[in-house]
Chain A
Amino acid sequence: MKLSECVELLKARVLVRVSDMNIDIKVACGADLMSDVMAFACSSNEMMLTGLVNPQTIRTAEMMDVKVVVFVRGKCPDDSILKLAAEKEICVLTTAMPMFTACGVLYGAGVLGKGE
Chain B
Amino acid sequence: MRMAVQTVKLSFQIRGSDFVNAGEASSNTKKALSRIGLNPSVVKRAAIAMYEAELNAMIHAGGGQADVEIFPDHVVIQIADRGPGIPDVDLAMQAGWSTAPDIAREMGFGAGMGLPNIKKHADDMRIETIVGQGTTITIHILFA
Contacts and interface: CB of A to CB of B under 8 A. Distances in A.
Residue among A33, A38, A39, A54 with max Cβ neighbours from chain B (10 Å): A38
Q: Secondary structure at chain B's binding surface: helix, strand, loop or mixed?
A: helix
A54 B21 CA distance: 11
A56 B48 contact: no
Given A63-B44, A63-B47, A63-B51, A54 B108 contact: yes
Contacts of B22: 56, 59
B108 A32 contact: yes
Given A54-B19, A63-B26, A35 B110 contact: yes
Interface string A12-25: 00000000000000
B41 interface: yes
B96 to A, nearest CB: 10
Interface size class for chain A?
Answer: 20 to 34
B48 A38 contact: yes
Contacts, number: 74
Interface in A23-43: 32-36, 38-39, 41, 43
Q: Secondary structure at chain A's binding surface: helix, strand, loop or mixed?
A: helix
Contacts of A33: 108-109, 111
Contacts of B117: 35, 38-39
Interface in B95-111: 95, 107-111
B52 interface: yes
A35 B114 contact: yes
B23 interface: yes
A59 B28 CA distance: 12
A11 to B, nearest CB: 25
Residue among A35, A62, A65 with max Cβ neighbours from chain B (10 Å): A35
A25 to B, nearest CB: 17
A77 interface: no
B19 A39 contact: no
A43 B48 CA distance: 12
A35 B20 contact: no
Interface of A: 32-36, 38-39, 41, 43, 50, 52, 54-57, 59-60, 62-65, 80, 88
Given A34-B108, A60-B51, 10 more contacts: A35-B111, A36-B113, A50-B108, A55-B23, A56-B109, A59-B23, A62-B23, A63-B27, A63-B47, A64-B44
